[in-house]
Amino acid sequence: MKTCVTAARLFTPTDVIANPVVLIDSGTIQDLGTRSDLEVPAYAQHLDFPDLVVAPGFIDIHVHGGAGHDVMRDDPSGRIAFEKALAKHGVTSYLPTTVTASMERILGAVDRLGNIICAEDVSQAGARPLGIHLEGPFISAAKCGVHPAEYLVSPTVDLFERILDASGGTLRMMTIAPEVPGANEVIRHARERGVFTSIGHSNATFEEAAKGIAAGAVSATHTFNAMRALDHREPGILGAVLSDERIMADIIADGVHVAPAVVQVFLKAKGIDRAVLVTDAISATGMPDGTYQLGPFPVQVRGDRAEFEGKLAGSVLTLDRAVRNVMSFAKWSLQQSVILGTRNPAQLIGADTKGELAVGSDADLVLLSAKGEVVHTMVGGQLVKD
């Protein structure tokens, strides 16, 4: 059955369309226009949202879990609850993100996640995984944060291939420290194999970071966090990330990981086309204060802070709140802020049918209030229900 969605406004990256009509067939946008040039078909299911804004579904490329579920755990019912919780906050696609652990545990996790991604039930109404984000073990011991240092290993092409093979080819993104011996060779190889690399958890100098970018790194992981600090004489990795227009960069805009004023600096440096919002959310997201799991270790959550042994350990941020925080911190419009959680992450990971509302795109939609609050989410043309 075809579905027709009408609303008050619709966001594109460059425009705001008043009184839009979106015609959906078999999970794909078949036609799009305004009420003045496109009729609502009599044979279609008509969903009218006269006070809401239609935007592309959000894409979270760095998320470890939520609703009590950790993506490295074998917990099918927990995963379903997690994916529905993501959709509740407007996320229609995501990259389940690993943390550093024993190689046996990493290989087991990417094997299981790869099987889920390859066999994803399109009838399941919730956010859908697009691929795996490998965060660790190819990171710097000096900037590993809460990642267990005893499990860090030097990157090699052979080890990368083992992980890629275990994932069934679903590895989509990899965080790597460019100064670690062997990193640039693996970055180049990963690019040839269709895996996007992001530099982060790094103590790299400016020159080392620049070499990683030249080798093929396309982004930076949670900019400012777990990175060498910016210095006016040795700008380090941050200097390269903020000044190099070839790469995108993501940020945890929760007001905890990065101060609001620094979020403004980041947005001015990367601009509307190169900035990406992520959550780095863990299993505690959407849950009461307490102790939760992040990969192999426990995390204490109180309010907006998630910590392990006094260090920040992921977040409890949701992507819709990150969008609203950009509006608050930087005084950006809702339409501008939405781009950082839709088009930009889609372009970064090569998700060609995601992130924009256009004919031929996947019918992943979020219906927002004027303040950016999520009212409804559609995945593959289906409304997600509680």
Find all residues with CB under 8 Å of 277, minimum gap 6, and list them. Answer: 250, 251, 253, 319, 322, 323, 326, 340, 341, 345
pLDDT at 124 over 80: no
CA distance 306 to 291: 9
Regarding the domain with residue range 3-54+372-383, which homologous superfamily does it belong to in the CATH classification?
Urease, subunit C, domain 1 (2.30.40.10)
Q: How far is CA 58 from CA 92, 95, 234, 266, 313, in A?
A: 6, 12, 36, 20, 23
pLDDT tens digits for range 306-319? 999 889 999 999 99
CA distance 75 to 293: 13
Residue written as token pair 């409890």 = 316
Domain limits, CATH 2.30.40.10, in the chain:
3-54+372-383
- DSSP 3-state assignment of 223? coil
pLDDT, residue 123, reads 52
CA distance 308 to 158: 32
Find all residues with CB under 8 Å of 147, minimum gap 6, and list them. Answer: 99, 100, 135, 136, 137, 139, 201
Alpha-carbon Rg for the chain, nearest whole angstrom, is 20
CB 189 within 8 A of CB 157: yes
pLDDT at 120 over 80: no
pLDDT, residue 13, reads 85
- Give the whole-number percent of the chain exceeding pLDDT 90: 92
Domain limits, CATH 3.20.20.140, in the chain:
58-352
pLDDT tens digits for range 285-299? 999 999 998 888 899
CA distance 177 to 158: 18
Query: Domain 58-352 carries which CATH code?
Result: 3.20.20.140
pLDDT at 122 over 80: no
Rounded to the nearest angstrom, the gap between the alpha carbon of residue 255 and the centroid of all alpha carbons in its chain is 18
Residue written as token pair 């956010």 = 127
pLDDT at 121 over 80: no
pLDDT at 191 over 70: yes
pLDDT, residue 190, reads 98
Average pLDDT over residues 62-68: 97
Find all residues with CB under 8 Å of 165, minimum gap 6, and list them. Answer: none
Paired strand residues for 134: 174
pLDDT tens digits for range 262-283? 999 999 999 999 999 999 999 9
Structure tokens at 163: 């992980």
pLDDT, residue 385, reads 85
pLDDT, residue 307, reads 92
Average pLDDT over residues 32-57: 94
- DSSP 3-state assignment of 370? coil
Average pLDDT over residues 189-206: 98
Average pLDDT over residues 196-219: 98
Average pLDDT over residues 235-244: 98
Average pLDDT over residues 351-368: 97
Catalytic residues: 280
pTM: 0.97
CA distance 49 to 6: 6
pLDDT at 228 over 90: yes
Q: In the predicted model, what is the mean pLDDT of the chain?
A: 96
Paired strand residues for 48: 6
pLDDT at 96 over 90: yes
Structure tokens at 324: 């609203």
CA distance 70 to 256: 21
